[in-house]
């Protein structure tokens, strides 16, 4: 299928808990997209954000639905990513709430994960599972797009908001929160934060070759840690989420309008590097 709406400059924002609407986005229209994998979490919202030279086109989709009714294990991740790709999104910025495992990731911290560990099971996690398609193994060594991560760091700097650079996101199945022992195990595995929606979302974006980065909001100490030693306070989560989403919007407002240009520049530099390789070089896979 071909992209039907692309102007070549469309950027997607996938909202998470606390971000079912993107205030500041001038909404132009909503559109229901059907995909071979079923229905996305809701109609896509098309709008625009102010940019230095005019406007930046944005497509927004809240992964839990506009009424926050879809739990993490029921999200149709394939339909969401397929729909964003179908309408021509060039990049996806995903916003996700997490529990903090690493000591410095206190509630209210904003983090730019650079790695992910998948503990989910049973979620449809690939587009390549039909009998007609060849077996396909994507490279996923670095699960988040480096150019978009750099753009987010730059955007946070412009907005004057602190953003922790790097961290390992553990994705658990949900919808229940973890036990203290499970969090201890994740910490031993090297995880720094825990959420329920990072996978298969990130991998599906990679299967589509769609640059993807996540902005994680720490809304609680993970089970058994800090203030969550005996229990996680759900009322505290809602308060922290509300406070932090204003900062998330400010970072995205600075980042999103520069993302496509940054991707184009990165691709051009990559292209130059590849064309400077001598003949027979393994980058091009030239067998001679």
Residue number with the shortest CB distance to ligand HPA?
Answer: 99
Q: Cis peptide leading into 118, omega within 30 of 0? A: no
Greatest alpha-carbon pair distance for the chain in Å reads 64
Strands (E), the chain: 10-15, 26-31, 44-51, 54-62, 89-100, 110-112, 115-118, 164-165, 168-171, 193-195, 212-221
Q: Which residues make Cβ contacts (< 8 Å) with residue 173, sequence separation at least 6?
A: 72, 73, 119, 120, 121, 122, 123, 196
Nearer to ligand HPA, 217 or 256 (CB): 217
Query: Cα 21 from chain centroid?
Result: 16
How many angstroms separate the Cα of 30 from the Cα of each of 43, 98, 241? Answer: 6, 29, 26
Question: Closest CB to ligand HPA among 217 and 253?
Answer: 217
Element spanning 25, H or E: none
Q: In the bound complex, what is the minimum distance in angstroms from residue 112's beta carbon to ligand HPA?
A: 17
List all residues 6 or more positions away from 250 whose beta carbon is below 8 Å from its beta carbon.
Answer: 159, 161
Min dist CB 48 to ligand HPA, Å, is 30
Residue 219 or 259: the one with the smaller Cβ distance to ligand HPA is 219
CB of 157 to ligand HPA, least distance (A): 26
Sign of CA dihedral 142, 145, 147, 149: negative
**Nearest distance in Å: CB 153, ligand HPA:** 22
Residue 71 vs 271, nearer CB to ligand HPA: 71
**Contact positions vs ligand HPA (CB under 6 A):** 97-99, 172, 177-178, 194-196, 219-220, 222
Nearer of residues 161 and 180 to ligand HPA, judged by Cβ: 180
CB of residue 232 to ligand HPA, shortest distance in Å: 6
The smaller minimum CB distance to ligand HPA, of residues 66 and 119, is found at 119
CB of 135 to ligand HPA, least distance (A): 32
């Amino acid at each position: 299928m071909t992209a039907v709406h692309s102007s070549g400059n469309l950027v997607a924002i996938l909202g998470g808990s606390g971000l079912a609407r993107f205030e500041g986005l001038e909404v132009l229209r909503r559109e229901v997209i059907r995909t071979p994998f079923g229905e996305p979490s809701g109609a896509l919202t098309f709008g625009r954000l102010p940019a230095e030279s005019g406007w930046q086109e944005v497509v927004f989709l809240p992964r839990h639905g506009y009424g926050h009714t879809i739990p993490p294990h029921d999200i149709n991740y394939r339909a969401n990513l397929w729909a964003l790709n179908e309408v021509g999104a060039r990049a996806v910025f995903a916003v996700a709430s997490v529990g903090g495992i690493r000591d410095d990731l206190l509630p209210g911290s904003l983090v730019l994960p650079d790695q992910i560990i998948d503990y989910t099971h049973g979620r449809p996690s690939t587009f390549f599972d039909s009998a007609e398609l060849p077996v396909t193994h994507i490279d996923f060594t670095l699960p988040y797009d480096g150019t978009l991560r750099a753009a987010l760091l730059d955007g946070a700097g412009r907005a004057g908001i602190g953003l922790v650079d790097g961290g390992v996101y553990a994705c658990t199945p949900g919808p229940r929160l973890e036990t203290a022992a499970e969090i201890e195990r994740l910490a031993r595995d090297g995880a720094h934060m825990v959420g329920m929606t990072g996978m298969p979302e990130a991998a599906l974006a990679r299967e589509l070759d769609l640059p993807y980065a996540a902005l994680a909001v720490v809304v609680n100490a993970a089970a058994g840690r800090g203030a969550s030693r005996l229990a996680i306070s759900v009322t505290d989560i809602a308060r922290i989420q509300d406070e932090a989403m204003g900062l998330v919007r400010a970072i995205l407002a600075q980042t999103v309008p520069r993302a496509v240009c940054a991707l184009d520049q990165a691709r051009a530099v990559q292209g130059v590097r590849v064309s400077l390789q001598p003949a027979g070089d393994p980058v091009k896979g030239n067998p001679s």
